[in-house]
Amino acid sequence: MSFLINSFRLQRWRIEARRIEVLSDCLRGVSDAELEQQAQQLRWRAWSGEPLKKLMRPAYAMVREASRRVHNQSHFRVQLMAGIGLFQSGIAEMQTGEGKTLTALLPSFLRALVQRGCHVVTANDYLASRDAEFARAVLSRLGMTVGCIQSYDETDDRRVNYACDITYGTAKEMGFDFLRDRLRKSNSDPNAVARRFISTGDEQEEAPVQRGHYFALVDEADSILIDDAKTPLLIALTEDDDDAEASLYRWSIRITRQLQSERDFYYDNKHRRATLLAAGCRRIAVAPKPARVENADLERLFRQVERALTAQLGFQLDRDYVVADGKIAIVDESTGRVMEGRKWQEGLHQAIEAKEGVEVTAATVSAARITVQSFFSMYEHLSGLTGTAKQSARELKRIYNLGVVTIPTNRACIRMSQPERVFVDQTSKLSAVAEEIKQLRDRDRAVLVGTPSVRASESLSKILSDSGIEHEVLNAYHHEQEADVIARAGQSGQVTIATNMAGRGTDILIDDEVRAAGGLHVIATEMHTSPRIDRQLVGRTARQGDPGSYQFFLSLEDELFASDPNAIPSTPSGELPKSWLRRFKKQQSKLVKLHTKQRRQLLKHEEDRTQKYERMGLDPHLELSE
């Protein structure tokens, strides 16, 4: 039934898109001044209360014509169809390379006509800046202003950019700006608890930077609305830096080396949580301690040792975090990028710093918080674009009330899949990957090799170097070279190793020699914890009708089984039958359900907490009101 409904909906959108194309073609003889005047007339009609639905056809036609004049890019019919779906508050699943940046201009311009502010949310600062510049060139022809929020912007600059008709930025920056506005409001209230912790020296209320939450268009919607929803946005205040605290963190790491699993503590690999047992508590109580730690109460010691055990057993260097410039930087699993300014809470971050032997920073306490789900649910109108949403359609509908519609490609996709290969261990697998790359290079193919972590990318890089295969690496250590690496990734004989970041949001353009040889070939060296991330990697090839292919190389030592230590049987080394693939899909499905459950629990906790605070007359987003 849903398939029939979607087919009928797409047919209606296709008819409407044809009408928009006809109207857009009629605008070709109109001067720039006349085109801007017509756009202003649309704005007046919107101000007078005319429904935006009636203005969609002329609005989209104007954007299409302005784009043709500025960038020599006219929206394809399928992009217009997606634009119609986005206006109706849904998720448009467009395959990678189908022009989501251009498509986003359509609903943004239409919603901006009422001048209540439109937010276009991107995955990182680079994409926000790039897309804002692209949009500004087009929409300025129609009298629209476009702003962009960057992480380094000052408060006044943010206020100016939010005052624009359309504002580009990341979910993190927009969420934090919302929380900072709540803190500013609390700070102006002499009765607010938060005022004791935040002081500006000014009794007058500072104007908020945001002017409301009318419409948000989320690019890479699955990553932002689903993957990032596991962790709430927090504004933290630094506690007093104390040498005794730093000593406690370092001592806790040292004492963990004297504890034995099952005897002194229990570690839950599934939830990455350590719990001390009675024997472990006794061992900690009688263990010798530095003078600065001796006076700490036992309950405090027990909690920090549990965090230290979690840091040792559950968080790995070059998978969950990297050490850059002597600091711990968290790596986002879904994108492979460093999460600037993020820290784990409740002493876990300090435990990892002590584990890696870097400077232990001061602990923080939460001042304000909001979940991704709660933040985007505040918008009157919400829509999103992504290449991988269908597998999360049920969750998107339940949490955000957003339906997912798959938009057909402009040109037929001719992506070819090759049979998966399964190996017992990493050594056999990576040797096979290196041999496959040699053969592909001999055929003038370009190769993109996807890895799940920084550690895996560096290990593969060493094997290729030992084999004499020239290549480039793109991961959290080399992120500043991303644009240059992606620009070369489609050239003949080029080999690129990349984590999940893999240039997401940018196109890998192939040259004529690669196109004639069969296009870009993607090698996935592991299955990720979500099939959507696998689809994102595969989607790097065969865009816009180009040829391309992909293949998975898997082993029973892959990180997918990190939480399932009994998954590796005692079998001879070498390649296994394809029937073993079922084990990987079963494990992946198990992890998808686990992460979905965690997001559901987080949302339930947030809802309960909000109701409790509202009954007490407190702001649910300000932690310090507790």
Res. 625: pLDDT tops 60: no
Measured from the Cβ of residue 475, the count of other Cβ atoms closer than 10 Å reads 27
Res. 608: pLDDT tops 80: yes
> Are 437 and 444 contacting, i.e. CB atoms less than 8 angstroms apart?
no
Name the architecture of domain 2-235+372-406. 3-Layer(aba) Sandwich (3.40)
Amino acid 576: pLDDT: 86
- Strand ranges (DSSP E) for 68-197? 91-93, 118-122, 146-148, 166-170
Q: What whole-number distance in Å separates Cα of residue 368 and Cα of residue 544?
A: 44
Q: What whole-number distance in Å separates Cα of residue 128 and Cα of residue 555?
A: 37
Q: To the nearest whole number, what is the mean pLDDT of the chain?
A: 87
Q: How many CA atoms lie within 13 A of 545 on its CB side?
A: 3
| pLDDT-wise least confident of 367-371, 490-494, 622-626 | 622-626
Res. 193: pLDDT tops 50: no
Res. 573: pLDDT tops 80: no
Bigger pLDDT: 82 vs 474: 82
Q: Please, which residues have CB within 8 angstroms of residue 112's CB and are 6 or more apart in sequence?
A: 118, 144, 165, 166
> Are 310 and 272 contacting, i.e. CB atoms less than 8 angstroms apart?
yes
Q: What whole-number distance in Å separates Cα of residue 433 and Cα of residue 408?
A: 33
Q: What whole-number distance in Å separates Cα of residue 533 and Cα of residue 222?
A: 10
Percent share of the chain, pLDDT over 70: 90
Measured from the Cβ of residue 316, the count of other Cβ atoms closer than 10 Å reads 14
Whether this prediction's pTM lies above 0.75 is answered by yes
> Are 85 and 182 contacting, i.e. CB atoms less than 8 angstroms apart?
no
Amino acid 240: pLDDT: 58
Amino acid 258: pLDDT: 92
Q: Which two tokens stand for residue 157?
A: 């600059």
Percent share of the chain, pLDDT over 90: 54
Whole-angstrom CA distances from 54 to 58, 66, 141, 594 are: 9, 20, 22, 44
Note the pLDDT tens digit of each residue in 72-127: 999 999 999 999 999 998 999 998 888 999 999 999 999 999 999 999 999 888 88
Helix 32-47 vs helix 52-71: crossing angle, to nearest 10: 160
Q: What whole-number distance in Å separates Cα of residue 363 and Cα of residue 601?
A: 26
Average pLDDT over residues 179-186: 86
Bigger pLDDT: 246 vs 278: 278
Note the pLDDT tens digit of each residue in 370-400: 989 999 999 999 999 998 888 889 999 999 9
Which H or E run includes 498? strand 495-498
Note the pLDDT tens digit of each residue in 310-349: 999 989 888 888 888 888 988 876 666 777 777 887 788 9
Res. 418: pLDDT tops 90: yes
| pLDDT-wise least confident of 7-16, 391-400, 554-563 | 554-563
Most confident of the following: 295-309, 492-506, 564-578: 295-309
Amino acid 106: pLDDT: 98
Residue spans of the domains in the chain: they are: 2-235+372-406, 240-362, 414-576
Whole-angstrom CA distances from 510 to 58, 383, 433, 483, 606 are: 36, 31, 22, 15, 46
Same fold, 2-235+372-406 and 414-576: yes
* Fold of the domain spanning 414-576: Rossmann fold (3.40.50)
Residue among 598, 558, 592 at smallest CA distance from 426: 558
According to the CATH classification, is domain 240-362 in 3.30.465.10?
no
| pLDDT-wise least confident of 239-253, 279-293, 538-552 | 239-253
Residue among 576, 580, 509, 514 at smallest CA distance from 540: 509
Whole-angstrom CA distances from 258 to 246, 272, 305 are: 20, 20, 11
Res. 295: pLDDT tops 90: no
Q: Cα 369 from chain centroid? A: 19
Amino acid 120: pLDDT: 98
Most confident of the following: 4-13, 159-168, 200-209, 279-288: 159-168
Average pLDDT over residues 232-242: 71
